[in-house]
Structure 1
Amino acid sequence: MKIVIIDYGAGNIQSIKFALKRLGYNAILTDSETEIRIADTVIFPGVGEASSAMAKLKASGLDKVIPSLKQPVLGICLGMQLLCNSSEEGNTNGLGVFDVNVIKFSNDLKVPQIGWNQISNLKSSLFKNVTENEFMYLVHSYYAPLCEEAIATSEYGIQYTSALKKDNFYGVQFHPEKSSTAGEQILKNFLEL
């Protein structure tokens, strides 16, 4: 199986690679359109700020490549947010895969939300063998509101979308690669889709 992690200078790459290795998989880190298109599965990671990350995607042409992919794609954290229509962070237009606009948590909450939080309302084979209200590790100041494409929710002041699915695209706000055995189960489920 060929697993590609998209390299655009905004990732938590090593922890994802280690998590995949623990599951018995190797992944290629690349920004090559050819390598990305022939992969069996694609992981679109992200840590950092939305507008600068999107600028890097545009500079490499990956902003056109990613939404056109046909194999399973998993956006993680900022990767998930960039798959949405837009983000208030840096007033950024996203890739428009998920029909939701990412907004900032209200000022009366401590941001970023850092640490463990529960995921609920699990819908999708992505969560096979994952318990309802399982804890996942999150670090974020912006979130996707509840929407039709939500396949998991979390609560932080309000209920928000913590995972999305549309066609072959999946997105998780949390970091499965840092979320212990339940997170690894989600990565395993994704690779076995």
Structure 2
Amino acid sequence: MKIGVIDYGMGNLFSVEQALKRLNAEVIVTSDKAQLDQADALVLPGVGAFPDAMKRLQETDLINYIKKTKKPLLGICLGMQLLFEGSEEVMPTSGLGIFKGRIERFKGVSRIPHMGWNDLTLQQTPSWLQNKSLPKDQFVYFVHSFYATNMAQQQLVAAAQYEGVSVPGIVAKDNFTGMQFHPEKSGQFGVFLLREWANGVEETVC
């Protein structure tokens, strides 16, 4: 199985690449659409500010490519946020519009960013977790100051609670999946989620 990690200049590419390689996936890291076309699935990572990321996607001519792809695509952290309609970070900025909802800064909490380990609660079971035995401990590692709000509940897979705020942790729609946390830094449960998503991809392409 070949997974294309989309390199638009704002992702923690090395850690994502290494995590996928540990799952025995062939990984290509590139912004070249012809090379991405050769992949079975795509990963959109992201670290930094939403407007800068959208600008980089525009400069690399990847916006329409991502929006129109039929390949399974996983957005991680900022990469997940970019899949929403827009964000208020720094300045109002339109997103890719795959998921309903907007990215807003945490309000009414004692500490920003939301950083550290938090447990996920499944709201529904995506196809790639069907008939799977989930680990007892479901803690994952978050680092973010903005989160998805006003989203469609049917697109919410799992959430975490942070001082009374329900934080979308995993979202899914059609071939798109998003994880707000960093699965590659989330211990055994993060590896489990990344592996099962990749296994789900492999089942669709075999």
TM-score tier after normalising by the smaller chain length: over 0.9
Tell whether 2:100 aligns with 1:99. Answer: yes
User: In structure 1, what is the equivalent of residue 21 of structure 2?
Assistant: 21
Structure 1 residue identity aligned to 2:112: V
Q: TM-score, normalised by structure 1?
A: 0.94
Asked if 2 retains the 8 angstrom alpha-carbon contact of 1:120 and 1:132, the reply is no
- For residues 75-126 of structure 1, the C-alpha deviation after alignment (integer angstroms, 9 at most, x for no partner) is 0000000000011113211000001111110154311111101110252144
User: Which of 139, 143, 152 is equivalent to 1:147?
Assistant: 152
Distance 1:41 1:5 in 2: 9
**SS of structure 2 residue aligned to 1:17:** helix
Distance 1:102 1:129 in 2: 32
Give matches, 1:50-89, under 5 Å.
Answer: 50-89=50-89
Distance 1:52 1:129 in 2: 39
Tell whether 2:175 aligns with 1:175. Answer: no
- CA 1:153–1:132: 2 relative to 1, 3 Å: farther
Structure 2 gap ranges (5+): 201-206
**SS of structure 2 residue aligned to 1:38:** coil
Distance 2:133 2:71 in 1: 23
Asked if 1 retains the 8 angstrom alpha-carbon contact of 2:87 and 2:93, the reply is yes
Structure 1 residue identity aligned to 2:152: C
Distance 2:193 2:182 in 1: 10
Distance 1:185 1:161 in 2: 19
**SS of structure 1 residue aligned to 2:122:** coil
User: In structure 2, what is the equivalent of residue 130 of structure 1?
Assistant: 134
Q: CA deviation at 1:5?
A: 0.2
Structure 2 residue identity aligned to 1:187: L
Tell whether 2:108 aligns with 1:113. Answer: no
- For residues 34-65 of structure 1, the C-alpha deviation after alignment (integer angstroms, 9 at most, x for no partner) is 12233101000001110001100011111111
Asked if 2 retains the 8 angstrom alpha-carbon contact of 1:154 and 1:160, the reply is yes
State percent identity of aligned pairs: 40
Q: TM-score, normalised by structure 2?
A: 0.88
Structure 1 gap ranges (5+): none
Give the count of matched residue pairs. 193
Tell whether 2:170 aligns with 1:166. Answer: no
Cα-Cα RMSD: 1.5
- For residues 154-193 of structure 1, the C-alpha deviation after alignment (integer angstroms, 9 at most, x for no partner) is 1112112111100000000000000111111111111122
- For residues 139-167 of structure 1, the C-alpha deviation after alignment (integer angstroms, 9 at most, x for no partner) is 00000125321100111121121111000
